[in-house]
Amino acid sequence: MREAPRARPSRDPLGLRRALADRLLVALVAAMALLAALALAGRAGADRLAERWRAGAAAAVTVQVPEPSPERMARALAVLRGRAEVAAAEAVDPERMAELLRPWLGGVADLPLPGVIEVRLADLGADPQALGVAVAAEVPGAVTEAHGVWVAHLTALAGAVQALAFGVLALVAAVAAAVVGVAVRAGLSARRDAVLVLHGLGATDADVAGRFARRAAVLAGAGAAAGAVLALPVLALLAALAGPLAGEAPWEALPWMDLLLLPVMAALVAWLATQATVRRWLRRLP
Amino acid sequence: MPRAGGHNSAMVRFSRVALAYPDARGRPGPEVLRDISFTLGEGSFTWILGPSGAGKSSVLRLMQAALRPSAGEVELLGVPLSRARRRDLPPLRRRIGVVHQEFRLLSHLSAWDNVALPLRLARVPEARVQADVAELIEWIGLAGKEDRRPEELSGGEQQRLTLARAVVTRPALLVADEPTSELDARQARRTLALLVEMNRLGTTVVVATHSEDLPGRHPARMLMLEAGRLVGDA
């Protein structure tokens, strides 16, 4: 009988440390994590810009009515609301206008201000110039400004970028799962005899799949962490460029939580993909 | 009529068993076993004899729950294989020790870890693993070589290591397929002695061999196979 227990029992009966190609898998997952980090940053940036622009684009078109008597304002509103391309037209409260202008003009009570009507277009492709001509014909002196249309276009573009980022993320996750599946199938081929021995010794599918899945999850998590770290300088540069547009400090613009979650999500995708691959392989055995 | 070999409780029961391996398309191929019936009682020692290709290994694979019969029924430790759910088979396999002709040791593990493997799969506490493996390593005469990899051991030592791995969980049934075919006469005698010792301790032992000498060294019940049929039971 031995006197002292062995200090280091093997925790890797399948020899997966050598069978699952660690460098290649880690490198591939790191590359995909880098892409995912860029997509996440793009999504986060587009999200912030869209939110900021959306507020500015509350009125795609504004109409200014000099000498804003109730009749002139009512006529202008009637013209606007009667046109098909207009979704909504609302007069801005004069008190709110005065409040908005107070920092620049001070509290001059009798200063003549134009009436302002905010117009939302039903279709951003509509011609705001035609709208301005129609209003000016009924209410002489009325001026139409359509700079908000551009903001609305940018907001729509930001939304498209967000959707695209989600698509890229889904694609990256799918490719990562496929890469892990290929690596695991290669590992199963390399360790076929060992898997059969464990199966014969009474290992359950969960035992065998769990060993592969833990190894794949660790490798994918490490790869994703490396990819996230590699993405940081690129993201910092982009954040510095976008800072003036987003109105916040560059480091604030980085998607820190997404970057921290990236290794966790990569590990989860790898774990699920490996479980599915190994269990499918084991189903061939009795 | 199957006989129980003079023992009370049936550990293995074959009832009109047929076996056909599937072909490349998954369809049943030609039958390698036909109409085989016998019963092995608890604590029995049985030789399965026959020339190469007689079906000995197929019978043993059925006894390891590594296959299900194509027809008839195989009952192992009270579990009918044809009706058992897939999840019922791993616990059954843990109660059956297997000694393979080609050893099937894991080359990346030490001798110690190879023997400890079944206990760790069964989630036995590590303190008991240490004690049981140490005892078995001593029993098979490999004390001092427990850190060696299988390829650093002789054929006889590897076979004894396989035997230790097969019995470390104290299985109810021990199945050995040509356990001495790769060994010289001295190592073969030693391996046989260990099998007989396991049987003396209460394990039901089944040994398949094509050797005509081996059964003479330990007289016991003999099942004779030929061309996939049971042709003798003595």
At A84-119, the pLDDT tens digits run: 888 888 888 887 777 777 776 666 666 777 888 988
Task: Give how far B216 is from chain A: nearest CA, Å.
Answer: 30
Can you give the pLDDT at residue A253? 66
Closest alpha carbon to B146 in B128, B126, B164? B164
- Among B108, B121, B134, whose Cβ lies nearest the Cβ of A198? B121
Q: Which residues of B touch A196 (CB under 8 A)?
A: 104
Task: Give how far A17 is from chain B: nearest CA, Å.
Answer: 11
Segment A76-79 long-range contacts (CB within 8 Å, at least 24 positions apart): A76/A115, A76/A117, A76/A135, A76/A138, A76/A139, A76/A142, A77/A117, A78/A138, A79/A134, A79/A135, A79/A138, A79/A139
Can you give the pLDDT at residue A254? 76
Q: Tell me the mean pLDDT in the region B206-212.
A: 88
- Does the structure show a pLDDT above 70 at A282? yes
- Does the structure show a pLDDT above 90 at B95? yes
**Which site among A1, A3, A10 would you substitute to test the B interface, given the most B Cβ atoms closer than 10 Å to its Cβ?**
A10
Lowest mean pLDDT among A163-167, A240-244, B9-13, B66-70: A240-244
Using alpha carbons, list the distances in angstroms from residue A56 to A118, A125, B8, B202.
Answer: 12, 18, 90, 86
Share of chain B above pLDDT 90, in %: 61
What average pLDDT does chain A have? 82
- Does the structure show a pLDDT above 70 at A33? yes
- Give the type of residue at A219: L
Lowest mean pLDDT among A124-133, A149-158, A162-171, B9-18: A149-158
pLDDT digits (tens, 9 = 90+) for B77-93: 999 999 999 999 999 99
Lowest mean pLDDT among A50-54, A57-61, A166-170, B188-192: A57-61
pLDDT digits (tens, 9 = 90+) for A126-144: 777 888 888 899 999 988 8
- Nearest-Cα residue of chain B relative to residue A194: B106
pTM exceeds cut of 0.80: no
Can you give the pLDDT at residue A244? 63
pLDDT digits (tens, 9 = 90+) for A3-19: 445 545 666 777 777 66
* Contacts with A221 (C-beta within 8 Å, 6 or more apart), sequence order: A263, A264, A266, A267, A270
- Does the structure show a pLDDT above 50 at B166? yes
Share of chain A above pLDDT 70, in %: 80
Paired sense of beta strands B71-76 and B45-49, if any = unpaired
Structural element, H or E, at residue B148: none
Can you give the pLDDT at residue A2? 46
Task: Give how far A216 is from chain B: nearest CA, Å.
Answer: 19
Cβ contact A13–B113 (<8 Å): yes
- Does the structure show a pLDDT above 60 at B205? yes
Lowest mean pLDDT among A257-261, B85-89, B114-118, B187-191: B187-191
Query: B204 with B10: CB under 8 angstroms?
Result: no
Interface confidence: ipTM more than 0.90:
no
Cβ contact A202–B92 (<8 Å): yes
Cβ contact B135–A1 (<8 Å): yes
- Among A2, A5, A203, whose Cβ lies nearest the Cβ of B121? A203
- Give the type of residue at B167: V
Higher pLDDT, B88 or A251: B88
Cβ contact A286–B92 (<8 Å): no
Residue B13 pLDDT class (50, 70, 90 cuts): very high
- Does the structure show a pLDDT above 60 at B108? yes
Q: What SS3 class is residue B49?
A: strand
* Contacts with A231 (C-beta within 8 Å, 6 or more apart), sequence order: A33, A34, A37, A38, A41, A259
Cβ contact B104–A193 (<8 Å): yes
Q: What SS3 class is residue B151?
A: helix
